[in-house]
A = this chain, B = another copy of it.
Amino acid sequence: MKAKIVITPKKAVLDPQGKTVQNALEHMGYTGVTGVHVGKYLEIDLAPGTDAAAARQALNEAAHRFLSNPVIEDYRLEIVD
């Protein structure tokens, strides 16, 4: 079982890294891009037989407390088999 956490800057927050990637894509000659958001991705391997509900609760707490900065970032947590 795995958990996947995607952490992205909130839409209202300046994303200089995303802007840089967008500029780089334009320099490459690819102009169909209207915006880029750069975030973090965490893949967490869970021991076999882990309780999905307990894992979700613990990881939600972790994501909120120290994996993301809730002031400027959003996160999505997904548990997959």
Which A residues have a C-beta under 8 Å from some C-beta of B?
A: 6-8, 18, 21, 24-25, 28, 30, 32-47, 50, 54-55, 58-59, 61-62, 65-67
Task: For A58, give its contact among B6, B7, B30 (CB under 8 Å).
Answer: B30
25 intermolecular pairs with C-beta atoms under 8 Å apart: A6-B41, A8-B41, A8-B43, A18-B42, A21-B42, A21-B44, A24-B62, A24-B66, A25-B44, A25-B59, A25-B62, A28-B62, A30-B55, A30-B62, A32-B47, A32-B50, A32-B58, A34-B45, A34-B46, A35-B45, A36-B42, A38-B40, A39-B41, A39-B43, A40-B41
Copies of this chain, tallied across the complex: 2
